[in-house]
Chains A and B, each alone.
Chain A
Amino acid sequence: MPEPGRPAATRQAGDEMFDHARAAVEGALDAGATYADARVVIRRHEALHAHNGELEAVRNDVDAGVGVRALVGSSWGFAASSELTGVAATRAGAEATATAKASARVPGSGLHLADVPAVEDTYTTPFREDPFTVSLEDKVEVVVSASRTMHEVEGVMVATAQLMFWDTDKWFVSSQGHRIHQRILETGCGMDATAVGEQETQRRSYPQSFGHVETGGYEVVRRFDLPGHAQETAEEAVQLLTAADCPSGELDVILESSQLALQIHESVGHAIELDRILGWEAAFAGTSFLELAQLGRLRYGSELMNITADATIPGALATFGYDDEGTPAQRVDIVREGTWVGVLSGRDSAHLAGLAPGGMVRADGFNRMPMVRMTNVGLTPGDSSMEEIVAETKHGVVMATNRSWSIDDKRLNFQFGCEIGWEVKDGKRVRMVKNPTYTGITPRFWGSMDMLAGGEEWFPWGVPNCGKGQPMQVGHTGHPAAPARFSSVRVGVKA
């Protein structure tokens, strides 16, 4: 039966989509591929954007098509078409194989796939309230009222609020017998206020920069209550204009959880991608300071550092049933008591490295080739709290909400800026500071983590804007984190 709120394209019978995927796989095999898989993807995206109390944009986008991957020798060939017919799918399969064969001009050793069971299954994101069935008026009211409240605060020049929803159906078929349908529903929201000074701008965001996204329904928007946090968010942006500059020097840094989530993303998540470690992304995204020979031995951080990649966390952004190779979602240890023990992998990279496939390969829509992607890569909770961490800090800076991020191509040398900070002296927050920045070297920084919160302060943040690959793909990743303290970090880097 058609589902209310879903476009006609999505309402088409699943069997027909499986048939198209099967046709693409057969087209590839008939042309000579040793392995092939195909995904028919129909993705609907809705976004609402309000600016200074007025609705600025409402978008509804549908992208749909078939993408097929064919393996010949040492290379993948990939072809995609937005034409969803059996004929076009078969042709795409044949052309994926033809492109893979053309790679023989610059060949390497044969590429093989780690074994995974061929699965026939379905998976749907649990949700309570489908955001596409919530009335447009209700959604407009959330973003308009939040941005209006912020803009009415004296000194705020720009106030924006956004809602964003993705509803993705994927039908996956492989030449090994996979037949999987998934419906992934993602919901996100965010807002920010910008105050403008003489030669500066100060910004505060809620609940984090770029908005926060989860797998789930409209209940996410209701839980974060943008209008209810608008006043405080805007007032902090204005207060920052007259705040003192972040002190410079080597101090303790206390990161709130959303900033720590991005720290994990950049200095752990990308570094443990096996395709980077193997050099497959060297030219653009870069490589990694990690070498496979160090797996199980390298000291990544302090004993408080326990990192997992867990695609099964309820509600987290990178939670799914199967990845885009048909490998089941799973939880994998990455760092155990400070020692590096795991990677993010796909079937080809895992086979090459002699590891078990981690189910961490996903693509951005039908027309991009699946690649190693972070799942929910994050810290397991500690036993402290933000309050305790501040109370036990002699001199440091609490930093919250990312403003800028930069890290080198080996994921070693990083510099982050945050929207707001508070200087801590003798166990108390003594003043708000602006332009807080910190810089460091990955293992040295993680080795300095000496306090970690947990309990209700542990939260699986969603990052909806991870760029990787050529052509560029935007990935959705999750990062559980809690406030933590890092000792003797260089802060307050100035131009």
Chain B
Amino acid sequence: MSTSMSTVARGLDDLQALADRVIELVREHPGPSADGSPGTPAEVEANVRVSRTRHGLTRFANSVIHQHVGEDTVTVALTVAVGGRTASASTTRIAATELAELVDTTITSAALQPIDPHWPGATPAAEPAFASNHDDATAAATADQRAGGVEAFVAADPQLRAAGYLDTETSWVAMASTAGQRVAGSTTRATVDGIHQTDTSAGSGHQTSVRLADLDAAAAGAVAADRARRSARFRDIAPGAYPVVLGPEAVATILTFLTIYGFNAKSYLEGGSFAELGAQQFDPAISVWQDPTDPRAIGLPFDGEGTPRTRFPLIEDGVTRTLAHDRRTATRAGVTSNGSAVPGAEAFGAVPTNVVMSAGDTPAEELVAGIERGLMITQFNYVRVLEPKTVTATGLTRNGTFLIEDGEVTGAVGNLRFTQGFVAALAAGQVRGVGADQRYADAEFGAGMVIAPSLALASWNFTGGAKG
């Protein structure tokens, strides 16, 4: 449950007024000269982003709700350039005196900096081409509604121990710039994510949607319980290379790392990306898009700099197509930003969001067909990159790892550690099937970021069992 907002900033109109007021304060500021000394004011440019996040999360463990949390936070984030010298600041204090202090300290700070050679200017005016998905009922969800969902997840198998969360989140954002940009939008998300546990195993279930009403927590709980029960008796198998069927959660992990390390234009410009634009780097069965226009999309119609977001291909039929740009990298590369700036992440670079891998036409349960001896992986855990340029990573399996023999799932196996190059795993000839079961999947870095199907791959390199 969240606290009520101050009367200063409740809805989008209030946030937009706040953003406009900050831009006014920037324009009214007497401004230091470009070299920091008193004198003729230098040109001051600014982007301001005002956001309100209302988040309610109900956690459960040992089949009991043990934590129920809520927050309601308004944040004003300001970037200014004084004669090309930049600084950024943010605050959750939104009274008039504190906003004036924010503007003054940020302008003063900027004037003391060296020239920022990659400052692309304040964001110009441009209308988003689509509206974001927002559900009023989800925005108004109560603690009791969330608890009801948890009750259903737990009740899916009262004999097992359940743990996880059900949350609802609403983001309202308004932006303005001295170059005339003025946009606002809001989005909602609801997620149920949890496990059921036996004494020897665990299985997971996950659902995410723009609408709380779309979630079927009982069904998610039933999936988790089924995986846990089927994993309760397992055997350990020898490490080695196996064909695999990866569930949507595992595929989402691969996509998250590929996008962060490979499709980040800053990483590309600095030689750290595997991406070769126009090259067939992946199997023709693989197509991946940034698609904020998807009817299921959770997110805003503009990015962290206020640039309208667009739909574009990252990988099309296996060919590497497009990098994610913010205004800084776009200026360096001589292209136009495609609306991929992440708020506050100037130093890291742009990252694709609303990542969608195209579905295939094979029912997920049929992906095991033709695999003589392989593994079905529900989820990866604690994946970390060893070599960014090839996106070679290590991690473990979790919450349901099963043996495939002669085209059928024949039992559970203990969790395994892998060390695998993700680009190589999806290379031409490596993809044996793409499932039709495309849905939101959690890649262990947060819900509502990736929509992915199951995949059958020719080989995955397991380098150890959970016992060493």
Contact = CB atoms under 8 A, between A and B. Distances in A.
Interface of A: 7-9, 49, 51, 54-65, 67, 74-85, 88, 91-92, 95-96, 98-100, 102-103, 105-108, 111, 136-137, 140, 144, 157-158, 160, 194, 196, 199-201, 278-284, 286, 367-369, 403-410, 412-413, 415, 417, 435, 437, 439-441, 444, 470-472, 490, 493-495
Contacts of A95: 1-3, 70
A77 B150 CA distance: 15
Nearest to A76: B67
A261 B116 CA distance: 37
B386 A282 contact: no
Contact of B60 (A55, A106, A437): A106
Nearest to A440: B468
Interface stretch (B139-147, B357-365, B405-413, B430-438): B139-147
B264 interface: no
Given A8-B101, A106-B64, A106-B154, A59 B382 contact: no
Interface string B198-225: 0000101000000000000000000000
11 contacts: A8-B97, A62-B91, A108-B62, A158-B270, A158-B272, A201-B388, A278-B62, A439-B417, A440-B468, A470-B57, A493-B463
Given A9-B98, A415-B394, A61 B90 contact: yes
Contacts of A58: 86-88, 109-110, 113
Interface in B300-319: none
Interface of B: 1-6, 55-75, 86-94, 97-98, 101, 105-106, 109-110, 112-114, 116-118, 142-144, 146-148, 150-151, 154, 161, 163-165, 167, 193-195, 197, 202, 204, 270-272, 344, 346-347, 381-390, 392-396, 398, 415, 417, 419-421, 424, 446, 461, 463-468
B3 A92 contact: yes
A435 B386 contact: yes
B147 A103 contact: yes
A283 B193 contact: yes
A493 B346 CA distance: 34
Nearest to A410: B466
A77 B68 contact: yes
**Most chain A CB within a 10 A radius of its CB, from B66, B113, B389, B466:** B66
A413 B68 contact: no
A57 B88 contact: yes
B266 to A, nearest CB: 9
Given A80-B73, A199-B390, A412 B109 contact: no
Given A81-B4, A107-B65, 9 more contacts: A57-B346, A78-B70, A82-B93, A103-B68, A108-B63, A280-B62, A283-B61, A369-B67, A406-B395
A65 B2 CA distance: 13
Contact of A98 (B74, B114, B143, B386): B143
Contacts of B383: 406
Contacts of B57: 470-471
Contacts of A368: 69, 71
A85 to B, nearest CB: 8
B74 A82 contact: yes
B71 A80 contact: yes
Nearest to A402: B384
B449 to A, nearest CB: 13
B417 A78 contact: no
Nearest to A43: B92
A441 B415 CA distance: 14
B24 to A, nearest CB: 20
Nearest to B390: A199
A54 B86 CA distance: 12
A108 B113 contact: no
Q: Which 5 A-B pairs have the closest CB atoms?
A: A108-B64, A103-B65, A102-B143, A81-B3, A283-B163
B89 A79 contact: no
Contacts of A61: 89-91
Given A76-B67, A283-B61, A102 B90 contact: no
Contacts of A107: 64-65
B293 to A, nearest CB: 28
Which residue of B5, B92, B94, B154 has the most chain A CB atoms within 10 A of its CB atom?
Answer: B92
Contact of B147 (A64, A105, A444): A105
Contacts of A409: 381-382, 396, 398
Contacts of B66: 74-76, 103, 108, 111, 280
Contact of B148 (A78, A105, A140, A199): A105
Contacts of A194: 270, 272
Contact of B65 (A9, A106, A140, A435): A106
Interface centre among B64, B71, B464 (most CB of A within 10 A): B71
A279 B196 CA distance: 12
A415 B461 CA distance: 15
Contact of B5 (A83, A136, A281, A413): A83
A490 B468 CA distance: 9
A53 B117 CA distance: 11
A207 B276 CA distance: 34
A281 B204 CA distance: 14
A51 B150 CA distance: 47
A137 B194 contact: no
Nearest to A58: B87
Contacts of A160: 347
Nearest to A195: B271
B89 A54 contact: no
Contacts of A439: 417, 463-464, 468
A240 B437 CA distance: 44
B36 to A, nearest CB: 9
Contacts of B197: 282
A212 B398 CA distance: 32
B59 A470 contact: yes
A291 to B, nearest CB: 12
A39 B220 CA distance: 36
Given A105-B148, A413-B466, A437-B386, A140 B60 contact: no
Given A8-B97, A78-B70, A283-B194, A54 B114 contact: yes
| Interface-centre pick from A74, A79, A98 (highest chain B CB count, 10 A) | A79
A136 B109 contact: yes
A275 to B, nearest CB: 9
Nearest to B465: A413
A102 B144 contact: yes
A234 B202 CA distance: 45
Given A108-B62, A279-B62, A404-B386, A98 B347 contact: no
A200 B73 contact: no
Contacts of A9: 91, 93, 98
A406 B384 contact: yes
A471 B55 contact: yes
A390 B187 CA distance: 58
Contacts of A196: 270-272, 389
B468 A413 contact: yes
A413 B466 CA distance: 6
A79 B98 contact: no
Contacts of A278: 62
Most chain-B CB neighbours within 10 Å: which of A76, A78, A92, A102? Answer: A102
B113 A75 contact: no
Contacts of B105: 7, 60
A54 B456 CA distance: 46
Contact of A367 (B71, B143, B195, B344): B71
A470 B165 contact: yes
Contacts of B88: 57-60
A258 B65 CA distance: 38
Contact of B419 (A76, A137, A280, A415): A415
A80 B73 CA distance: 8
Contacts of A80: 3, 69-73
Contacts of B63: 106, 108
Contacts of B148: 105
A280 B87 CA distance: 41
Contacts of B398: 408-409
A62 B102 CA distance: 9
